[in-house]
Structure 1
Amino acid sequence: MRAERFGHFVAIDWSGAAGERHRGIAVALAAPGTAAPVLVRPGHRWSRPEVLDWLRRDLPADSLVGFDLGISLPFSDRGAFFPGWHGSPADARALWALIDRLCAGEPHLGVTAFVDDPALAPYFRRHGGREGALFGGGRGRFRVTERAQDAMGCRPYSNFNLVGAAQVGKSSLSGMRLLHRLEGHLPVWPVDPLPPRGSVVVEIYTTLAALAAGRPPGRSKMRSHAELAAALAAPAIASAAVPGAGPIDDHASDALLSAAWLRRAAGDRALWAPAGLAEVATTEGWTFGAR
């Protein structure tokens, strides 16, 4: 894989919070070379459907799009997403379709109807101390790619966990509704094979970009332009600084750094063929950058 395969690099910090518009969503864009990444619609408070619409209508050609969310649920540990349930989907695309179907009447790509479904709720840890009997205990179930992240020094959360400030379960599930609605518009690697040309979506974990920039896992968040500039200047990122001084929203800084990181990481062939990928590509997917 050559970085020249792509003409633009997009990173999206996502949110699964309730409501229509979210300060936790940020979209950043980096062009080839070393120019500073930029925010798309700076100052705008995005809704999830607006991001979907932007991807369908306004995404620059030949973009590598990184979404900071989990594109699937654990499967390989139990041989099923929902072991013991007769309706458990066979692969990631069927999972996305199931979530979108059960939540069809829910606005803003919400997923409450899915996690509250009587057949599915037992698999999740939900608010109010409601840990389902099939959650698995402890930190919950993990995908193979999340085990790889853990070995790299990160501390991933199970997508079956919907509790706590750092949980990513609801954002991942709402993102799966979006991915289902992108079918026919954008392929999603590795659930879909990497096409020889055109745009493609991948899952990212912004902490991996911060690690590449030399920040320790426990200090991956950047809340000042100075911190962001130092991360962008790291040899593995090699990007010009984003103009500005003083504080910066950490969702914006995550997206900006990740877009610049994607620009460098896209040319690393090893990241497109991690060990164990073939066995989980269409069920669990993978986090681009996890080794």
Structure 2
Amino acid sequence: MSSTEAAARERVIGALRAQSDTVSDRWVQLQLAQEEMRDIVSERELREEADILLGALLQGLESDVPAQRLVATDRSLRQAVTDISMRRARGGAMPTVTSMAVLSLKEALLEAVQRQTRDTDELFTTAVLINRLLDAAGALSFETYVEGREEIIRRQSRQLLEVSTPVVRLWRQVLAVPLIGTLDTTRTQVVMENLLEAIQEHEALVAIIDITGVPTVDTAVAQHLMQTVNAVRLMGADCVISGIRPSIAQTIAQLGIDLSTILTRATLADALAAAVKLTDEAAHRPSGRVRENP
């Protein structure tokens, strides 16, 4: 660390020690001046964030870590910046607002340093140091925001998928999954997980997959259905596929898709009747299991 940087650090440290409350208040005011921020974070939360971040910043500056690496390597400082960004992301703030919240701390810190010295050279070197620190913090906050929003979007998408693929108990030991829309790999995985968990919970012997709401069945959709059927069979249950409309039956035949090992029915009512019959037959067998290929 050069003597110039060391002196600049001492000035920032001195400003934080002597004017911590003033810097905190100023930073909160600058953030509240952004109209978008008022509806996302309360003033109380902003003050809590300021106390934590300024405390972590002071602790980091008192270490020997170079300024350009401080935000990346100091655990407390990095966590403070990350928490601020994640709170903005959950609140729905734009990424620029999130970055500006961190970068506005520059102004509050520089004002505090100016109250300690008027020397131009000292102010310049201190400003360079503050810029290095908070530019890194701003970049981290932006990166964290993007990752946080992506995680929120993924979680919401999964929740929507789970809502759109409910597992319904139709009869004793009979479950049904009404599918609506396109069946892709991600949705197949959700259907499979929910259905297998429900089979275990309800000790189901038959699972009906109703594709009445699936607009088209191509090779990919058929493969996804077969994956689900195979997983269900591994759980000791069997599948009935309902909703085979004439157009879908014709498409399956033209594509040469083999569903001969799966019991199919035209309507959900027909599938339920077949499933009830299968469970009744299974009840009279010593194993209590549905036959492998009904």
- Give your verdict on TM over 0.5: no
- Please tell me the TM-score bracket, short chain as reference: under 0.3
TM-score by length of 2: 0.21
TM-score by length of 1: 0.21
* Higher-RCO chain (CA-CA 8 Å, sequence separation at least 6): 1
Bigger helix share: 2
- Answer with 1 or 2: which has the greater Rg: 2
